Structure 1
Amino acid sequence: EYPQNLYIPVGYYTSIVGVGRLPSDVRLGSVRVGNDISGHALNNFWRSCEGVTLTAPRSYWAVSQASPLRRMVVEKDLWLSQSEGYSSGGFFADIDVGGTLVMGTQQQWFGRNARVQTGLECWTGWNYVFVGVKGIDAEAVDRCQWAGDVPKGQRRHGWPGRISAVTETPRIAEKPYLVKDGSKWFIYVPKFVASSTAGPIEDREAGIARKLELTHEVFVATPEMTAFEINMAMQGKDGLLLTPGVYVLTEPLVVKESHFVVLGLGFATLVSPIGLSCIEVLDDLDDVRVAGLVLESGTPAGFKSAQPLLRWGLIVKPTEISPSAPGIASDIFARVGSFRHIDCTPMRVGTMLEFNANGVVVDNVWAWHADHDDCSGFDPGRHSDMASYSFMSDKSHSTHGVVVNGHFVTTYGMAIEHVAGGHMCEWNGEYGQSFFFQAELPYHTPPVAGAVSYKVNPTVLYHFATGLGIYIIGTYTAPAAIDISPFSDVRNVVTAVISGNHSQFASQICQRWESSWFTHKLLNCSAPISCSDILCWSPTVPHLNPTQLPQLVSLGFSPSTEQMLQRMPLLELLPNEQLRTASAEESALRLPSATIPTATSSKQATTTKVTTTTTTPTTPPTTKATTTKSTTMGIMTILTGGGKKHKAYENLGTLYGWFSNKKKASIKKASVSGGSKDIPDANVGSEAAERLGDRAANTITLGLIVFMTFCAVPLMCLSLHCARPPRELRPVSSRQALNEDEIDEQTQFVDI
């Protein structure tokens, strides 16, 4: 018990860590992070607090990236900004806020497995994602969406896509932590939970998978040790504890054993060997934990290539996933730039963080190409315009922030900034789920032509993401904010152009289909649904349903992944229960809510509710309420099939239209705030659907006959030499997770 009037200012590379078994074992008055000398919190990085209880009436945590709060109790109010200074993002998990959570000036934020007991207060903000946070219910979301600074007596229009609220977390393990129990020190390793969870951990003792005693089971490293010494000392141990400091490596640190734990304290910083990784996790390992590290490139920019700073797995396995628990990466912060402690040499990195193993859970990562440094004479007290200042780090090179090649990977809280050499995030693995993504485009160096912030490989058949915020500062342009496969389900996309105009994003979202099995390519780009001031927003993206395209099976997609899918959350889309309307007779396009069931057997499943937000455009369509269901689900009906009689025709017709680049059966223009958008007409007549379906069926049938006659044997021979194994796909029935008597004939499903 510390003095109640004690508050601890938390600066750069500072971690406040309570080492009791419970957060209540260490009680402080408050920790405090305020605005810096510029009057803002935009550069408040690399600080953290965990394992304590705060008792002050108000605690300030005005931060941006790489500043997590974990395993805490805040008895009163928690403010995420100070006064009116700008702040730009943060992360909390496993915390209990007894008072009000005040978002303040935060532009974006991610929170997971927490409880907010007396409400949520929003001043402004662009992109907030809460997963498994109790107290963030539909009422709180609605109140926050429509709050803000407005003249007295007027109601603000609000920003409808500000919050993505997911009521339960599908799969997670909390970060390992240090504990002093009597005279002994331990690393406590929390259990991996594959089923849905919400709120902070209630029974912490029961939630521990194993306890590693430092004296015998963990090697404690210091910065004076060489990488060779550390690697040798890791053999025969169950964990590695990296004490605070900068480790200049001459070889990568390599994790070779399952159930191994790497834990950094005080933002322990690993500088990579020239051309090599900081840390590697080998293939076929179960339940590896890597947490609390800063990874920095030590490869000079003059070199032609450099391996990822973190490489998790070396080879992508086509189907296997860990039978016990996957790997967990927690609080990993990668960077490249020019810094004084490395003699101000501009550095190079290809990919900062690369995940090749299946089933990995990524919990709070930031990949940063420095837009400022301590080698260029910049003083925030004297220089007000960082965007126009020339930095040494501008001479550094980066290609990708995060690359996901493994399957079944889930990310919570991913931020990437200023990467200029390629796609910031590139996702090639199947069955990926991303909860919160934030990207800021480079503004000192123009991005490479064609690069986007969030890229999902065109052949990916399952991908879900919610709460994606992509921002431009300055004058550079981008072809799109995100570029995804036509099967990807993406919600709440926000783009912002600061000191510019919306047209700097040529499109907000592009969908692309490219396949070696088809000569045709699909490219469908769209503008945002609505825009206001510097922000533009889209609630969801129409997408194809791969499980309803049986033609894909004949192209090498084998329906044999049932066991793996039972371990993974699946996604189901259902119509919204609530819809804000301008009047009883008018309705706008609405975003379906969703559930994420985690199947425990072929007959049982638990569900996770995704609360999404809706809005009415400034000029709502004049569709009557009696046709609301048909209109609002029109996109999904055409792309995924929603009716009974013409379901097959619509799917075949859509498949034909997309693969042959023919004009859709019917297109209408929907007036929305910020422009117009092509959407399929929900009222395509049955005759048109049948004609289009017949044409598609005839074409596909003829194509299959030709294929079987002239191509089957050559392709079979060719497939024997194909290095890339076929993807696997199991059609999943939405009804498996629901009672049949709860489903009416009007319910529309998207099975993924």
Structure 2
Amino acid sequence: MVSPSAPARPPARRGRRLRRLGVGLAAALALSAVPATAHAAPPGRPAPAQQLGPNVTVFDPSMPVRQIQATLDATYAQQVDNEMGTERYAYLFLPGTYGTADQPLQIKVGYYTEITGLGESPRDVVINGKVETYNRCLAPDNCIALNNFWRTVSNLTIQVNGTGQDGCRAPTNFWAVSQAVSMRRVHVTGGGLSLMDYCTAGPQYASGGFIADSELPAVTNGSQQQWYTRNSSVASWSNGVWNQVFSGVTGAPSDAAFPTEPYTTLATTPVSREKPYLFVDGQGRYQVRVPAAQRESAGTSWSSGTTAGRTLPLSDFFVASPATSVLEMNLQLARGKHLLLTPGVYDANWSIAVLRPGTVVLGIGHATLTAGRGATPLFIADVPGVVVAGVTIDAGEKRSKTLLRVGLPHFPDLLTRPSDPITLSDVYFRVGGPHVGRTDTALEVNSDHVLIDHTWVWRADHGVEDFTAGVNGDTDRWRTNVGRNGVVVNGDDVTATGLFVEHFQQHNTIWNGERGRVVLYQNEIPYDPPSQADWQEPDGTLGWAGYKVGDRVREHRLDGGGVYGYQRNAEPGITTAMGFEVPRTPGVQLHHVMTVHLDGIGVIEHVVNDTGGRSDSSTQGTPQYVADYPG
């Protein structure tokens, strides 16, 4: 992600046929995998902390602050630059208060690290101190948050305490992050929250991000290009860069001055479901709360009491580790178990098949599935109520048709229902980056009534693959890390809240289903086409729109969308005819959409179809907006 100049430093302030097919699929998968090594806890008994794996640490408030601080500092020192590494960590805090007025617990969060409270309410775990992410310094004069990906904070209260920090940092909790980062069920009090690290030497660019179900103080957006905040409350919001979207947020800024102030504000969220969370009950038993789906909701789920939903004992989950085979996971799922993926990288040479209604697959510590043998690592049948959360899915070297498939194409969906949608929360995708990756489509949604609750679908623009040909190895990257489409939606009545898709080689998103609803869309077209001939449709259309609604669709709505262009691998540049391509019909509506080009050579001719200004060298870094289409 490339940024414009940062603003000035802010003040401190489907029926039977499908069931038979599903059972057959599970049996077929079971015939070809390796024996398992992980086992679930005995029914009705608490899960010991060690069952969750060596990379899960459970803290107790009776532990000395220095001991906790030292443990967290050691992990941060290892993970602060470990962008493409395989280490994964989850730090869980039992109910209580951590840190004191004089000796605060000041947590810095690096790559693949999750900081989570184990209370039933976010108020049950208090961090007297901070939970922060600062700019990452790639060079002494290049400190940015653009690559601060893959980290999580959730289900706790941050009582801001900057004791021992300098005057710039002390009053504020800094959360300078970009994509694939979530802040959920967090209460920040006693100081400000900044989404930009303005205390570290510049350029201080940031490109996030996502907050949900949180109660926040005054928030400094700073240099964040885009941000989505959902079902929360904010005391105030400082500014915007290109595309700041709010839905169901008390205190959200008005969007009356759009586009001078680049806000999109919806009073409610059309469809939402909060992410499942671990907690420990009054008897010390580990439980998983699975929130209920809501419609036209606003505010946090917990401010007036327990979050609506169902509670599952952890004994109902099969607890897997990276040594566990897909065979064993599928057998346990077929028995009716839910699935907990502990931190680590899992080889998925076959599909993990989720076939039963209401199944929960919960990853902690950024558990990662890596496709092998061209497999689709995760398949969800056309059944209601399945929830998948906290899982990253990587493409492998042999090309996969898909990385996650929801439902089967060309089959009627008879079983899903709007009151209990299949939900994907904090499910992330990568094609390239830590290793060579190839897929046709990362996420394919064929079922109806699916909720995509925050995702980043990324064909990598950088990594450790050691490419050399072209600018920054981009010609090698284009030929090797193959990803045609990021997201393809064929199901009807699918909602996406926080849809981030980047760098795919054709349309990044294709939406063929009816009555689709998207709240915040962010896209960058690829950096790396070697020539215009590599970046054009078969009919000669220059480039591929970053967001395409199928030609036969008659109802669709997007609120708050951006398509960005940046080319570094071709001279004199690559032209893209339009950022958004949609059928010309009154029922397909785009509200607050924009394009921007960030280099001096590339061009996006129009924002939507043939409407909207040209993004090129003359408007470099300056967005071209369309308030409503059709107007």
| Counterpart pick for 1:3 among 95, 99, 108 | 99
Q: Distance in 2 between matches of 1:227 and 1:193?
A: 33
Instruction: In structure 1, list runs of 5 or more residues that go unmatched.
Output: 146-158, 379-385, 511-524, 544-634, 636-752
In the other structure, the counterpart of 1:439 is 523
Q: Distance in 1 between matches of 2:320 and 2:266?
A: 39
Provide the TM-score with structure 1 as the length reference. Answer: 0.62
1:6 CA drift (Å): 1.3
Structure number, greater radius of gyration: 1
Q: Distance in 1 between matches of 2:361 and 2:518?
A: 24
Q: Distance in 1 between matches of 2:578 and 2:124?
A: 49
In the other structure, the counterpart of 2:503 is 418
| Counterpart pick for 1:226 among 311, 325, 345 | 325
Query: Which amino acid counterpart does residue 405 of structure 1 have in structure 2?
Result: N
Provide the TM-score with structure 2 as the length reference. Answer: 0.74
2:437 aligned with 1:347, yes or no?
Answer: yes
In the other structure, the counterpart of 1:746 is none
Write out per-residue CA displacement over residues 330-354 of structure 1, whole angstroms, 9 at most, x where no aligned residue: 0010011152xxxx4x221011011
In the other structure, the counterpart of 1:208 is 308
1:238 CA drift (Å): 4.1
Higher RCO, 1 or 2 (CA under 8 Å, sep at least 6)? 2
2:267 aligned with 1:167, yes or no?
Answer: yes
Q: Secondary structure at the match of 2:328?
A: helix
Q: Secondary structure at the match of 1:24?
A: helix
2:143 aligned with 1:46, yes or no?
Answer: no
TM-aligned CA distance change 1:277 to 1:106, over 3 Å: same
In the other structure, the counterpart of 1:619 is none
Q: Distance in 2 between matches of 1:33 and 1:508?
A: 34
Q: Distance in 1 between matches of 2:363 and 2:215?
A: 24
| Counterpart pick for 1:240 among 339, 351, 355 | 339
Q: Distance in 1 between matches of 2:359 and 2:414?
A: 23
In the other structure, the counterpart of 2:403 is 309
8 Å Cα contact 2:600-2:620 kept in structure 1: no
Out of 443-452 and 386-395, give the one that drifted further: 386-395
In the other structure, the counterpart of 2:350 is 251
Write out per-residue CA displacement over residues 20-59 of structure 1, whole angstroms, 9 at most, x where no aligned residue: 1111111111111010013001100000100110011411
Query: Which amino acid counterpart does residue 173 of structure 2 have in structure 1?
Result: S
Q: Distance in 2 between matches of 1:261 and 1:466?
A: 29
In the other structure, the counterpart of 2:552 is 459
TM-aligned CA distance change 1:387 to 1:72, over 3 Å: farther
Q: Distance in 1 between matches of 2:416 and 2:350?
A: 29
In the other structure, the counterpart of 1:368 is 458
Equivalent residues in 2 for 1:66-145, closer than 5 Å? 66-75=180-189, 76-83=191-198, 84=202, 85-97=204-216, 99-117=217-235, 119-122=236-239, 124-138=240-254, 141=255
1:536 CA drift (Å): 3.1
2:391 aligned with 1:275, yes or no?
Answer: no
Q: Distance in 2 between matches of 1:245 and 1:128?
A: 33
Q: Percent identity?
A: 33
Q: Secondary structure at the match of 2:417?
A: coil
Q: Distance in 2 between matches of 1:279 and 1:205?
A: 34
2:114 aligned with 1:15, yes or no?
Answer: yes
In the other structure, the counterpart of 2:424 is 329
8 Å Cα contact 1:161-1:494 kept in structure 2: no
Q: Distance in 2 between matches of 1:136 and 1:476?
A: 38
2:186 aligned with 1:186, yes or no?
Answer: no
Q: Distance in 2 between matches of 1:37 and 1:375?
A: 21
In the other structure, the counterpart of 2:583 is 485
Query: Which amino acid counterpart does residue 422 of structure 2 have in structure 1?
Result: G
- Count of matched residue positions in the alignment of Structure 1 and Structure 2: 490
RMSD of aligned C-alpha atoms?
A: 2.3
Q: Secondary structure at the match of 1:233?
A: helix
| Counterpart pick for 2:176 among 62, 75, 82 | 62
1:192 CA drift (Å): 1.1
Write out per-residue CA displacement over residues 538-586 of structure 1, whole angstroms, 9 at most, x where no aligned residue: 333444xxxxxxxxxxxxxxxxxxxxxxxxxxxxxxxxxxxxxxxxxxx
Q: Distance in 1 between matches of 2:375 and 2:271?
A: 31
1:507 CA drift (Å): 2.2
In the other structure, the counterpart of 1:149 is none
Give the structure with the larger helix fraction.
1
Write out per-residue CA displacement over residues 357-397 of structure 1, whole angstroms, 9 at most, x where no aligned residue: 1111111011111111123299xxxxxxx993116644210
In the other structure, the counterpart of 1:718 is none
8 Å Cα contact 1:187-1:214 kept in structure 2: yes
1:444 CA drift (Å): 1.9
Query: Which amino acid counterpart does residue 558 of structure 2 have in structure 1?
Result: A
Write out per-residue CA displacement over residues 237-277 of structure 1, whole angstroms, 9 at most, x where no aligned residue: 34110000000012110001001100000000001232221
In the other structure, the counterpart of 2:607 is 508
TM-aligned CA distance change 1:96 to 1:323, over 3 Å: closer
8 Å Cα contact 1:48-1:69 kept in structure 2: yes
1:206 CA drift (Å): 4.4
Write out per-residue CA displacement over residues 417-454 of structure 1, whole angstroms, 9 at most, x where no aligned residue: 1111x210000000001111111111123563132100
TM-aligned CA distance change 1:387 to 1:125, over 3 Å: farther
Give the structure with the larger strand fraction.
2
Q: Distance in 2 between matches of 1:129 and 1:68?
A: 15
Instruction: In structure 2, list runs of 5 or more residues that go unmatched.
Output: 1-96, 161-170, 538-543, 568-572
8 Å Cα contact 2:348-2:375 kept in structure 1: no
1:321 CA drift (Å): 5.0
Query: Which amino acid counterpart does residue 308 of structure 1 have in structure 2?
Result: T
8 Å Cα contact 1:443-1:476 kept in structure 2: no
Q: Distance in 2 between matches of 1:73 and 1:365?
A: 23
